[in-house]
Amino acid sequence: MYTSRITGMGKYVPENVVTNDDLSKIMDTNDAWIQERTGIKERRHIKKGDGNSTAVMGVKAAEIALERANVSKDDIELIVFATLSPDYYFPGCGVQVQDLMGIHTCPALDVRNQCSGFIYALSVADQFIKTGMYKNVLVIGSENHSGGLDFTTRGRNVSVIFGDGAGAAVVSRSEKEGHGILSTHLHSEGKHALELSLKGPSTNHWVPQLIEENPQEDIPYYPYMNGQFVFKNAVVRFSEVIMEGLKANGLEVSDIDMLVPHQANLRISQFIQRKFQLTDDKVYNNIQKYGNTTAASIPIALCEAWEEGKVKEGDTVVLAAFGSGFTWASAVIKW
């Protein structure tokens, strides 16, 4: 079997910066309250008319990744697109990317695993390459949260957390043993699905019912989150899946050169950092600037860490995520 490695990364975030003070003007919240609970200072939101969408942002990140990987769009043999906020209910964003980038009729696969989406997508690319089916796979995580959030006081517990953006990686075949993606580890526990969910619209509760019921107090097509329950599960599953990845590769916590956790909440990342006794230079966080960008958060953070020289060749990099589903996952990479 071959090995697979990330040969290029790119990221894109909208230019429109939304600060905590900006949100305090439209809902009952304030900068101190948001920072204390989430660590977030600002986030990026698509601005109407700026031409962005989930697929378009994915393309912008992907074009950078391809250039850095020195790979042509014609070399891409599979697109794997992770998002919970596609431009359309169907078709998915994968085929939009294929069309917008002028890529030949390669397969396009959409992954719906929310905050764990990028690692799930990375694992798909990894397996296709390791088995020899493809040489170059484009993996994208992109989210347009701002188009579907409740920007009133009623929705503040959720809406202050999320931002828009995209990250992308080119995953390519390599014959260098002991480098690249060493392993991926995926899990889910569906009994907690409704603790972090958006129940409508869906095929079980679709347009006719929405029209009939509108207006309504309890609006099912805005996200819901049981924050404390999610936090308690996140810190447990983060720890478990990181250790699972290390043990699978005969590694210790001390072998980690960089941990890039999903940017769900700075308090979760800090809890994990303390538990594993990792120094500040071994954990990368950028939720302060971008908020939680769900499937885009890990590729944006990993790309930024690499751009800043904090991820270097030969480093052991661990990616870890937990989110809606519940789903959680990790990847161990020798850069």
Concatenate the DSSP letters of all residues of 300-327 into one string. Answer: HHHHHHHHTT-S-TT-EEEEEEEETTTE
- CA-based angle 225:294:322, to the nearest 5? 70
* Assigned token pair, 76: 């891409």
User: Which one of 52, 262, 285, 286 is the catalytic residue?
Assistant: 262
Q: Which of 93, 106, 115, 303 is catalytic?
A: 115
The answer to whether 212 and 36 have CB atoms below 8 angstroms apart is no
Reported as type and span, the H/E element at residue 157 is helix 156-159
Residue 262 catalytic? yes
Active-site residue 93, yes or no? no
CB-based contacts of 111: which residues, under 8 Å, 6+ apart?
A: 80, 81, 82, 83, 117, 120, 121, 124, 295
CB 76 within 8 A of CB 136: yes
Is 115 noted as a catalytic residue in this protein? yes
Q: Rounded CA gap, 80 and 134, in Å?
A: 13
Per-residue burial over 203-241, b if 16 or more Cβ lie within 10 Å, else e, is eeeeeeeeeeeeeeeeebebbbbeeeebbebbbebbbbb
Looking at the annotation, which residues are catalytic?
A: 115, 262, 292
